[in-house]
């Protein structure tokens, strides 16, 4: 548990105590840390007698996360749809998790916070813009869900089995199954405690890792067939919107990070990058590296108006696949002096 978290914990608790109707969200392309964290908080708030709402955000909840406790309560709306409706008047607090900037709340238009709605940001991304009224940002944590575990402990909250499995999924996903570089002794301790609280977590993790659809395999084939290796260091896959539509693949349901993770796993390929045109003229970039000390991808993502961590980052860029690829290579060369 860090000093930052201990300092901010009572401030966040007081804001929650003063609120009644509380909004939570999943970020675009929700992963285990995003959905798991929001659902763990949802269960906590319900236990406190609050009225929480979790919105799916821009993207539907992936099949592998749909069995998380409380997932059936997620409202299938994006942020701007909620704020544009009469519902906006009812929310007095918005808890923003695992989101380094407002566009990780929604990419469907500008994100504006009503004056009547207080905002709290809890996040572990180094690139976080501290855009909330209250901010708890600590990049020493491998996952936002590990931050929430410590936060709940600091508040002396009883972590229920449902909360435990939600937090476990977030930590498992963002730590790469407890394998990534910033996984610490405290990460394992949190995981062990959560496993004790809900021994059934293994079934949820099994479903998370074994939920492939035929279209997912077709997408992987498209991506891997497109791989180029630049300067013997960078492996880059690029998939156009047209190519996916032709194969009957829904671009919104593709897992970009899975491709970049696979590419960086190859010995000699120090950076893995995937470019996926999820709609015409809008390209999602996922970046992964084997050596974050040498290649700080958060700095690269910032140049593309994205964010993330040194080892894992991403951005969304407007333009054709060809133009975005050229821009990415330009920024890679500029930042890392590639030959």
Please tell me the predicted confidence (pLDDT) of residue 64.
87
Please work out, in degrees rounded to the nearest 5, the angle formed at the alpha carbon of residue 214 by the alpha carbons of 209 and 216.
60
Give per-residue pLDDT as tens, 56-69.
Answer: 998 888 888 998 99
Please tell me the predicted confidence (pLDDT) of residue 59.
86
- Residue 255's Cα: distance from chain center in Å? 12
Return the bridge partners of 230, or none. 234
Please tell me the predicted confidence (pLDDT) of residue 224.
97
- Decide: 302 and 127 in contact? Cβ < 8 Å: yes
Strand ranges, E, within 206-323: 228-230, 234-239, 271-279, 282-289, 307-308, 312-318
All structural domains of the chain, each given as residue ranges with its CATH number in brackets, are: 3-209 (3.90.1640.10), 214-336 (3.10.310.30)
Segment 14-22 mean pLDDT = 97
When comparing pLDDT for 213 and 190, which is higher?
190
Segment 174-188 mean pLDDT = 92
Rounded to an integer, what distance in angstroms lies between the CA atom of residue 302 and that of residue 78? 25
Rounded to an integer, what distance in angstroms lies between the CA atom of residue 39 and that of residue 55? 10
Give me the residue label for tokens 């290796």.
229
Rounded to an integer, what distance in angstroms lies between the CA atom of residue 327 and that of residue 331? 6
Please tell me the predicted confidence (pLDDT) of residue 86.
63
**SS3 for 136?**
strand
- Decide: 229 and 235 in contact? Cβ < 8 Å: yes
| Tokens coding 61 | 């909840």
| Tokens coding 81 | 């749809």
Per-residue confidence band for 270, with pLDDT thresholds at 50, 70 and 90: very high
Segment 159-186 mean pLDDT = 94
Rounded to an integer, what distance in angstroms lies between the CA atom of residue 42 and that of residue 24? 8
Rounded to an integer, what distance in angstroms lies between the CA atom of residue 165 and that of residue 69? 8
DSSP-derived secondary structure letter, 75:
B
Q: Is the pLDDT of residue 89 over 80?
A: no
* Residue 211 to residues 78, 79, 254, 303, 309, Cα–Cα distance (Å): 25, 27, 13, 34, 27
Please tell me the predicted confidence (pLDDT) of residue 257.
85
Give me the residue label for tokens 């000699």.
268
Query: Positive or negative, the Cα torsion across 170, 171, 177, 180?
Result: positive
Rounded to an integer, what distance in angstroms lies between the CA atom of residue 197 and that of residue 69? 14
Per-residue confidence band for 34, with pLDDT thresholds at 50, 70 and 90: very high
When comparing pLDDT for 90 and 140, which is higher?
140
Q: Report strand pairing: 134-137 vs 228-230.
A: unpaired
- Nearest Cα residue to 298 out of 285, 312, 284: 312
Per-residue confidence band for 112, with pLDDT thresholds at 50, 70 and 90: very high
- Decide: 167 and 36 in contact? Cβ < 8 Å: yes
Q: Is the pLDDT of residue 339 over 60?
A: no
Q: Is the pLDDT of residue 88 over 60?
A: no
| Tokens coding 20 | 């009644």
Number of neighbouring beta carbons within 10 Å of residue 151: 22
Please tell me the predicted confidence (pLDDT) of residue 127.
87
Q: Is the pLDDT of residue 102 over 90?
A: yes
Q: Is the pTM of this model over 0.95?
A: no
Per-residue confidence band for 235, with pLDDT thresholds at 50, 70 and 90: very high
Q: Which helix (H) or strand (E) holds 63?
A: none
Segment 17-27 mean pLDDT = 97
Give me the residue label for tokens 């939570």.
24
Number of neighbouring beta carbons within 10 Å of residue 75: 15
| Tokens coding 164 | 């435990």
């Amino acid at each position: 548990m860090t000093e930052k978290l201990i300092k901010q914990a009572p401030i966040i608790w007081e804001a929650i105590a003063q609120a009644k109707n509380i909004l939570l969200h999943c970020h675009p392309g929700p992963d285990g840390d995003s959905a798991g964290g929001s659902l763990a908080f949802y269960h906590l708030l319900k236990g406190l007698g609050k009225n929480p709402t979790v919105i799916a955000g821009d993207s539907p909840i992936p099949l592998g996360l749909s069995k998380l406790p409380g997932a059936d309560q997620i409202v299938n709306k994006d942020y701007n749809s909620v704020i544009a409706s009469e519902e906006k008047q009812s929310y007095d607090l918005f808890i923003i998790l695992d989101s380094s900037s407002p566009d990780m709340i929604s990419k469907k238009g500008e994100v504006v916070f009503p004056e009547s709605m207080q905002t709290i940001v809890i996040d572990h991304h180094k690139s976080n813009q501290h855009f909330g009224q209250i901010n708890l940002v600590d990049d020493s944590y491998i996952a936002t869900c590990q931050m929430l575990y410590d936060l709940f402990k600091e508040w002396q909250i009883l972590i229920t089995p449902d909360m435990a499995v939600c937090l476990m999924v977030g930590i498992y996903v963002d730590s790469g199954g407890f394998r990534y570089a910033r996984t610490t002794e405290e990460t394992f301790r949190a995981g062990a405690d959560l496993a004790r609280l809900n021994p059934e977590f293994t079934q949820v993790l099994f479903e998370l890792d074994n939920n492939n659809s035929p279209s997912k395999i077709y997408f992987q084939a498209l991506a891997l067939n497109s791989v180029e290796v630049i300067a013997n260091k960078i492996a880059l896959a690029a998939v156009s919107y047209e190519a996916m539509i032709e194969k009957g693949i829904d671009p919104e349901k593709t897992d970009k990070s899975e491709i970049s993770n696979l590419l960086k796993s190859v010995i000699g390929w120090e950076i893995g990058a995937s470019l996926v045109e999820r709609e015409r003229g809008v390209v999602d970039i996922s970046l992964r590296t084997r050596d974050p000390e040498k290649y700080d991808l958060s700095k690269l993502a910032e140049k593309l108006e994205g964010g993330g961590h040194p080892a894992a980052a991403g951005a969304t860029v407007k333009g054709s696949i060809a133009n975005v690829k050229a821009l990415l290579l330009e920024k890679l060369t500029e930042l890392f002096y590639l030959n």
